[in-house]
Structure 1
Amino acid sequence: MQPRGTGVDLLLPVLPFAAMAAVAAVEVSAGPEVGYLALFSIGPAFACVSGTVRRALLVGALAFVLCTAAACYDGMLGSRRATVALASVVGVTAAAALAAALRRRAERELADVRSVAEAAQRVLLRPVPTLAGPVRLAVSYASAAAEARIGGDLYEVVPTLADTTRVVVGDVQGKGLDAVETAAVVLGAFREAAPDESDLEAVGARIERALNRRLEGEEFVSAILAEITSDGTVTLLNYGHPPPLVLRADGEAQWAEPARCAPPLGLAALGPAGPEAHDLSLASGDQLLLYTDGVTETRDDAGAFYPLLERAGLLSLDDPDAALEAVRRDLAAYAAGPLKDDAAMMLLRRRSDGLA
Structure 2
Amino acid sequence: MSVIRRPAMRVVMVLPYALIVLVIVVDVLAGSAILLSLLAAPAALASATGRPRSVLLVGVLAFVVCIGAFVADEGVTEERGAVALSAVALVALAAAYASDVRLKAERRLVGVQTVADAAQNVILRPVPRRSGHFDLAVSYISATVGARIGGDLYEALPHPGGLRIIVGDVQGKGLTAVGAAVTVLTAFRAAAPADDSLQEVAEHIEEALERREEGEEFVTAVLADCTERGDVTLLSFGHPPPLVRRAGGTVLTAEPEVPGPPLGLPGGLAALHEDGPGRFALRLEPGDRMLFYTDGTTEARNAEGEFFPLPDHTDLLGEPDLADALAGLRDQLASHVQGPLDDDAAMLLLRFAPSTDGT
TM-score range, shorter chain: over 0.9
Structure 2 match to 1:351: 353
* Cα pair 2:42 2:58 within 8 Å, conserved: yes
The answer to which of 211-220 and 147-156 deviates more is 211-220
User: Counterparts in 2 of 1:161-310, with a 5 A limit?
Assistant: 161=160, 163-196=161-194, 198-214=196-212, 216=214, 218-267=216-265, 269=267, 275-310=277-312
Who is 2:52 aligned against?
A: 53
SS at match of 1:338: coil
Counterpart residue identity of residue 47, structure 2: C
CA apart distance, 1:326 = 1.7
What one-letter code is carried by the residue in structure 1 that aligns with 2:28? V
Residue identity in the other structure for 2:246: R
- Whole-Å Cα distance in 2 between the matches of residues 341 and 116 of structure 1? 24
| Partner in structure 2 of residue 333 of structure 1 | 335
Identical pairs, percent: 48
Structure 2 distance, partners of 1:217, 1:17, is: 54
Tell me by how many angstroms 1:168 deviates.
0.5
**Aligned counterpart, 2:16:** 16
> Given the superposition, is the C-alpha separation of residues 26 and 272 from structure 1 closer, same or farther in structure 2, using an over 3 Å criterion?
farther
Q: Distance in 2 between matches of 1:240 and 1:246?
A: 18
Contact preservation (8 Å) 1:76, 1:82: no
List aligned pairs for 1:80-91, cutoff 5 A: 80-91=79-90
CA shift, 1:156, in A, is: 1.0
Contact 1:114 1:148 in 2 (8 A): no
Q: By how many angstroms is 1:246 displaced?
A: 1.1
Q: How does 1:57-206 map to 2 (within 5 A)?
A: 57-75=56-74, 79-161=78-160, 163-196=161-194, 198-206=196-204
In 2: Cα distance, 1:8 partner to 1:27 partner: 28
Unmatched 5+ residue regions in structure 1?
none
* Corresponding residue pairs, total: 353
Alpha-carbon shift at residue 352 of structure 1 (Å): 5.7
The one-letter code sitting in structure 2 at the alignment partner of 1:132 is: S
| 2:311 alignment partner, SS class | coil
Would you identify which runs of 4 or more consecutive aligned residues in structure 1 move more than 4 Å? 270-274
The answer as to whether partners of 1:114 and 1:149 remain within 8 angstroms in 2 is no
Which shifted more, 137-146 or 81-90?
137-146
**Within 2, Cα distance between the matches of 1:258 and 1:125?**
27
For structure 2, the 5+ residue unaligned runs are none
Question: 171-180 vs 89-98, which deviates more?
Answer: 171-180
CA distance in 2, matches of 1:186, 1:217: 13
In 2, distance between residues paired with 1:78 and 1:303? 64
- Return the alpha-carbon distance in structure 2 between the equivalents of residues 172 and 197 of structure 1: 27
In structure 2, how many angstroms separate the alpha carbons of the residues matched to 1:258 and 1:63? 73
Distance 1:185 1:333, change over 3 A: same
Q: TM-score, normalised by structure 2?
A: 0.91
Write the letter of the residue equivalent to 2:30: A
Could you tell me how far 1:78 is from its partner in structure 2? 6.8
Residues 1:30 and 1:232: Cα distance change in structure 2 (over 3 Å): same
The alpha carbon displacement at 1:261 in A equals 2.1
- Letter of the structure 1 residue corresponding to residue 191 of structure 2: A
